[in-house]
Amino acid sequence: MNGILLGVVVAALLVAAVARRFGLSSPLILVLVGLIACQIPGVPELELDPDLVLFVVLPPLLYSAALDSSYLALRSNLRPIGFLAVGLPLATTAAVGFVAYLIVPEFSIAAALVLGAIVAPPDAVSASAIGRKLGLPRRIMTLLGGESLLNDATALTAYKVALAAAVGTGATLIGGFETFLVAAVGGTVIGLAVGFVISKVRGKLQDPVMESGIGLVVPFFTYLAAEEIHASGVIAVVVAGLFLGQRSTRASYATRLQDTAVWKAVDLILESFVFLLIGLQLPSVVNGLQGYSTSIVVWASVGVLVTVVVVRIAWVFPFTYVPRWLSPRIRAREPEISARAVFVVSWAGMRGVVSLAAAFAIPLTVNSGEDFPGRSLILFLTFVVVVGTLLLHGLTLPWVIRVLGVQGNEAQSDARAEAAAQDKAARAAAARLDELVGADADDDVPQVRNRAADILRSWNTHRANSAWERLGRSDEDLGESPSNAFRSLRLEMIDAERGVFIAERDAGRIDDEVLRKVLRELDLEEATLDRD
């Protein structure tokens, strides 16, 4: 089995490499290749291990996404994200459960709700990738990203409650609410505690390799710790990731550069693996359909898939506009969003491997010893929803975005904000340079430092002007690369610039995306100067 999994990983990376080389959607190509490959004679049948997904694949993907998310942007959009990440999965659970119960006689109400909870959470990996490529507005990307970070927690909690009722353990509405409350509060506490401790530990190490190594362990430890106390591992990992992502500005440049490279590689491997794995599940889910009539399977597949798609559209539009109509405070606090952008959000409902993992985790029997009602059909319907939404939304979402013309206009405003922050940072760097040169006035070789300072002043002016030049303000070419003579002075100036950029982000004058961009530029520059 280990050899098979390794083969899947290698094959997934090769397929992803080809897709990326030709500008194709990697998730869609990987799913299609998996569907084709499982029909080839000799290809071993591979049944998804739910523990592999829930404990090995899911935590690092959530953690990496949280690290790259903007806490400030998520906080400012907390209300709409809450409707998407909490309200929508619960509504989908109820609607799908109702439809499945009406169509499939074998389903009990609890078993139908188990199916609803399984297919409730969208996986925004492919939607976010498409959105970034086509330049969706930043607020739309924030909503999709925030939803994908938190909706798994809602759906998996609903899944646990419905599963308990289905197997005969017993579950009530009040008990379900208590379970959700414990999961949310416990996960938040665990995530904050782990984030705080890891931040302190990494801050003391001053060892980029060790810091990145610890960072790789964080999502697994956090998820397991939360699940052990029956809290939400998803929420714990997300909170820890958001906390450490916000604190990453305090790390060294080498740690930030290394972490970025490491997590991009981890994301590529895991995302490629899971999407190929989805396609390879076809034989195992089809083999369990003996005993079901073709009409039941077809009608259930169509009914559940259509319900998943329609419920998202029917939920997103009213919960976008009704609160704005009812509350002047919301209208004043939140910018208006166009109907075209709302439709894009409603159409980004691709399901992923978490749904399949939850389906495969359904026990074979209930507490009475009887077979779990409709388990094999639940597996098949989950597979239909996952593959169906990936193909339907994945193939049409780029077209929808282009036709509706939903594109962000943040580039110009970001450039202006960056230029203003760069100007302020340059003044802080110049002040620090003057302070350092003044402190060396009694040095035995002040002329060397003064000449270096003159070059740096010119170069600093060039850096301050470069952001404005990109806006068409100037064409002059100022400054030159630093030499060893002013290396130490420039490092001090970089520290001063970095501090200003972080303060500008904290004050809300520039976005986290702008901050990451300029910090990466400063980190790369510092890497070229720091030769110790």
Task: Give domain limits for the chain.
Answer: 2-408, 411-529
Q: And the tokens for 475?
A: 């064409």
> Is 304:100 a contact under the CB 8 Å cutoff?
yes
pLDDT band, residue 215 (cuts 50/70/90)? very high
Q: Which of 265-279, 343-357, 468-482 has the lowest mean pLDDT?
A: 468-482
More confident of the two residues 171 and 481: 171
With a cut of 80, say whether residue 364 has pLDDT above it.
yes
More confident of the two residues 13 and 451: 13
Q: What is the pLDDT of residue 472?
A: 55
Q: And the tokens for 316?
A: 């997103």
Across 319-337, average pLDDT: 88
Task: Please state, for a pLDDT cut of 70, what percent of the chain lies above it.
Answer: 87
φ/ψ of 430, rounded to 5, equals -65, -40
Residue 371, beta-bridge partner list: 365
Calculate ∠ Cα 426-432-438, nearest 5°. 135
Q: Which of 449-453, 465-469, 514-518 has the lowest mean pLDDT?
A: 465-469
Across 10-27, average pLDDT: 89
What's 530's DSSP letter? -
At CB < 8 A and 24+ separation, what contacts does 328-331 make?
330/79
Residue type, 89: P
With a cut of 60, say whether residue 397 has pLDDT above it.
yes
Across 37-59, average pLDDT: 85
| DSSP element (H, E) containing 408 | none
Q: Which of 171, 166, 155, 82 is nearest to 123 (CA)?
A: 155
Q: What is the pLDDT of residue 447?
A: 66
CATH topology of domain 2-408: Na+/H+ antiporter like fold (1.20.1530)
More confident of the two residues 502 and 454: 502
Across 158-171, average pLDDT: 82
pLDDT band, residue 220 (cuts 50/70/90)? very high
Q: What is the pLDDT of residue 491?
A: 81
Q: Which of 381, 411, 59, 415 is nearest to 218 (CA)?
A: 59
With a cut of 70, say whether residue 221 has pLDDT above it.
yes
Mean pLDDT, the chain, integer: 84
φ/ψ of 351, rounded to 5, equals -95, 160
Q: Per-residue b/e over 215-250, b at no fewer than 16 CB within 10 Å?
A: beebbbbbbebbbeeebbbbbbbbbbbbbbbbbbbe
pLDDT band, residue 127 (cuts 50/70/90)? low
More confident of the two residues 335 and 195: 195
With a cut of 70, say whether residue 525 has pLDDT above it.
yes
Please state, in angstroms and rounded to a whole number, the distance separating the CA atoms of residues 73 and 348. 20
> Is 395:122 a contact under the CB 8 Å cutoff?
no
With a cut of 70, say whether residue 213 has pLDDT above it.
yes
pLDDT band, residue 170 (cuts 50/70/90)? low
With a cut of 90, say whether residue 286 has pLDDT above it.
no
Across 347-362, average pLDDT: 88
Q: What is the pLDDT of residue 479?
A: 40
| DSSP element (H, E) containing 61 | helix 58-67
Please state, in angstroms and rounded to a whole number, the distance separating the CA atoms of residues 100 and 120. 13
Q: What is the pLDDT of residue 125?
A: 63
Across 15-19, average pLDDT: 93
Q: Which of 141, 249, 134 is nearest to 518 (CA)?
A: 249
Across 186-209, average pLDDT: 92
What's 351's DSSP letter? B
Residue with tokens 């209930």: 366
Please state, in angstroms and rounded to a whole number, the distance separating the CA atoms of residues 339 and 135. 17
> Is 514:489 a contact under the CB 8 Å cutoff?
no
Q: And the tokens for 504?
A: 């500008």
Q: Per-residue b/e over 273-301, b at no fewer than 16 CB within 10 Å?
A: bbbbbbbbbbebbeeeeeebeeeebeebb
Q: What is the pLDDT of residue 440?
A: 57
What's 40's DSSP letter? S
Q: What is the pLDDT of residue 188?
A: 93
In order of 19, 335, 473, the CA distances from 140 in angstroms are 25, 12, 31
